[in-house]
A and B are shown apart, each in its own frame.
Chain A
Amino acid sequence: MSGRVLVGVKRVIDYAVKIRVKPDHTGVVTDGVKHSMNPFCEIAVEEAVKLKEKKLIKEVVAVSCGPQQVQETIRTALAMGADRGIHVEVSGKDYETLGPLQVSKILAALAKKEQADLIILGKQAIDDDCNQTGQMTAALLDWPQGTFASEVTLDADKLKVVREIDGGLETIKIKLPAVVTADLRLNTPRYATLPNIMKAKKKKIANVKPADLGVDVSSRLEVLKVDEPPQRQAGVKVETVDDLVGKLKEAGRI
């Protein structure tokens, strides 16, 4: 057991920003827009740092795929308590088409290279809402997975994961090495304190290219069009209950 945990952190448009579709409908406006760490990734980092504080694991490595700017996101993870970072350089067209399949191939390759015991990811990113990377990474590595985790307990090489499912909560036990994806209620991410922000500058971020890991980042998906959700239509006012029932029948609702 290396005691090493890989945490994936994604740089996304900040949750509070009002999203605007580009005039050419090829995507959303990202230039000059505030970006931050995906909230579920923050929860993932927090869980990893907590495990380290409990001395159940030895090292937390934060990983992000993208252009130069993702280093800010890695630094945030370092300020929260990660030990070092890995920046997988993907830019330009490749970055625009980068999706869960390519990222999971990268994470799988890194997990083998770094001999990680555990990968913790956010359950999904708030920009594409894919909810696929964790599952694909586990499949590529042939590792067990505990997704939608709201509670994680580590005991030697066994992981007890409480999962949030439609019917309620499911508790499973899986063996390390494994992949866990963090759900909302797993923990409350800490603020990076000022001294930790300063210390984070001294921590190392290694640069790696997908080719170095033997990963082809070309995508088999093509985005045809991006549109805003349809505008909410105004309602219609009716005078009597009979009118209401009549209109609902007309619209085929009852």
Chain B
Amino acid sequence: MTMIFNKVLRAGFQAGLRFQSTGPQASARAAVASLREAHGGFSFELTEQQKEFQELARKFAREEIVPAAPSYDRSGEYPFPLIKRAWELGLMNGHIPEDCGGMGLGIFDACLITEELAFGCTGVQTAIEANSLGQMPVIIAGSAAQKKKYLGRMTEEPLMCAYCVTEPGAGSDVAGIKTRAVKKGDEYVVTGQKMWITNGGKANWYFLLARTDPDPKAPASKAFTGFIVEADTPGVQPGRKEMNMGQRCSDTRGITFEEVRIPKENVLIGEGAGFKIAMGAFDKTRPPVAAGAVGLAQRALEEATKYALERKTFGKVIAEHQAVSFILAEMAMKVELARMAYQRAAWEVDQGRRNTYFASIAKAFAGDIANQCAADAVQVFGGNGFNSEYPVEKLMRDAKIYQIYEGTAQIQRLIISREHLGKFKQ
């Protein structure tokens, strides 16, 4: 071997530990069809292009995100240089359709990339993912003009956007949001308070959900409207950056809307269509969030494995003690299963089918195992794991939010039981 010091120093991780990820992808339907024939109708094979995307994201995450993550976590500073770099490499905004300057990637391809970036740092990855969440309502419900205007600009410069639905008094109960939008001539005037908005202080524009029907008895499916709001509209007041347990470099804020005037051209679909749009976005964004949780769990597994092969106790490396190797085995089980779950959910929606059942299963499971694997990794590291000089305590702090945002673990179970019972009754 020759002296490739630069590369060896920069890349800290063995490429060999992880095998290629799996799952067919509908964006090359002809290729998939022939793959299906060859593999007997079911395939875990990635296309060449998917492998290359994954390789690119993996290289970027391990060489650039991993080394920078600890200092962003300590300072809480927004990782704009990393985000800009991801944008330059085409790792962001993958869902934006080609006619708006994007790459029109399917959810599966996006998930492959998301998992790799999350391996590097879920704080960075969440900041990037929030763009997809904010854009999704526009992608699924925007008019050609709205798409061109708001998605187009994201491909011309590294801009951020945000999904503005949660309020201090309503998270899971989306129908309980109180932000009001009142029609006045050709505008809507919006007043209310949003909370826990990722990219709240950095967004160029928001997808906003507000109540347009004042009648408290109006059904949720008709009472809300989705808007696109330019962040510099007078009356939009982002609050302070919140100090959270984990994913600390991600920018999370409360946002006050004080008589904000939105032109009617910025309504998505029409008045009253908002709830369905906001919920519809989740079927496409839950698989990537699950993928992010898997990325974190994979990181936990790799860090714990590396440590277990180095640390010695009672005369041998701790990986040779079954108590420890069993912990690693269970972590591996969870990671592999969670990965297959998000791949199935992503594949289903790319095939054009409703994937709510699979998306909720993937997100619920991945969120839970990410927390378990992170805690297990700390355990494998022992006393060192509790210390901030080692990478795993950050994983524990970062993992918790995966059981909360994008639909809490409890809400996911509600959805899964409803879907399951619904299917059963048919």
Contacts and interface: CB of A to CB of B under 8 A. Distances in A.
B60 interface: yes
B16 A18 contact: yes
Given A16-B11, A126-B2, A194 B56 contact: yes
Interface in A181-228: 184, 191-198, 201
B53 interface: yes
B52 A75 contact: yes
A243 interface: no
A75 B4 contact: no
A150 interface: no
A126 B90 CA distance: 30
B7 A39 contact: yes
User: What is the interface residue range for chain B against chain A?
Assistant: 20 to 34
A33 to B, nearest CB: 8
B15 A197 contact: no
A124 B3 CA distance: 11
Given A15-B1, A16-B16, A184-B6, A194 B94 contact: yes
A193 B11 contact: no
A124 B52 contact: no
A203 B115 CA distance: 29
A195 B103 contact: yes
B91 interface: yes
Nearest to B64: A191
B88 interface: yes
B18 to A, nearest CB: 10
Contacts of A184: 3-4, 6
B49 A198 contact: yes
B329 interface: no
Given A184-B4, A194-B89, A75 B48 contact: yes
A188 B178 CA distance: 53
A79 B51 CA distance: 13
A239 interface: no
A76 B51 CA distance: 12
A76 B52 CA distance: 8
Contacts of B11: 16
B48 A191 contact: no
**Highest count of chain B CB atoms <10 Å: which of A79, A196, A197:** A197
Interface in B4-60: 4, 6-8, 11, 13-16, 48-49, 52-53, 56, 59-60
A16 B49 contact: no
A191 B53 contact: no
Contacts of A39: 4, 7
Given A16-B14, A16-B16, A34-B16, A191 B4 contact: no
Interface in A60-103: 72, 75-76, 79
A20 B160 CA distance: 47
A72 to B, nearest CB: 7
Contacts of B90: 193-196
Interface string B92-123: 00100000000100000000000000000000
B420 to A, nearest CB: 37
A35 to B, nearest CB: 11
Contacts of A16: 8, 11, 13-16
A192 B88 CA distance: 10
Given A16-B14, A197-B49, A124 B56 contact: no
Contacts of A194: 53, 56, 89-91, 94, 103
Interface in B53-94: 53, 56, 59-60, 88-91, 94
A17 interface: yes
B52 A197 contact: yes
A31 interface: no
A14 interface: yes
A17 B134 CA distance: 40
Nearest to B59: A191
A166 to B, nearest CB: 14
A17 B88 contact: no
A24 interface: no
A17 B94 CA distance: 31
A34 B16 CA distance: 7
A79 B52 contact: yes
B6 A17 contact: no
Contacts of B94: 194
Interface of B: 1-4, 6-8, 11, 13-16, 48-49, 52-53, 56, 59-60, 88-91, 94, 103
Given A15-B1, A76-B52, A129-B2, 14 more contacts: A15-B7, A15-B8, A16-B15, A39-B4, A39-B7, A75-B48, A126-B2, A184-B4, A191-B59, A191-B89, A192-B56, A194-B94, A196-B90, A201-B49
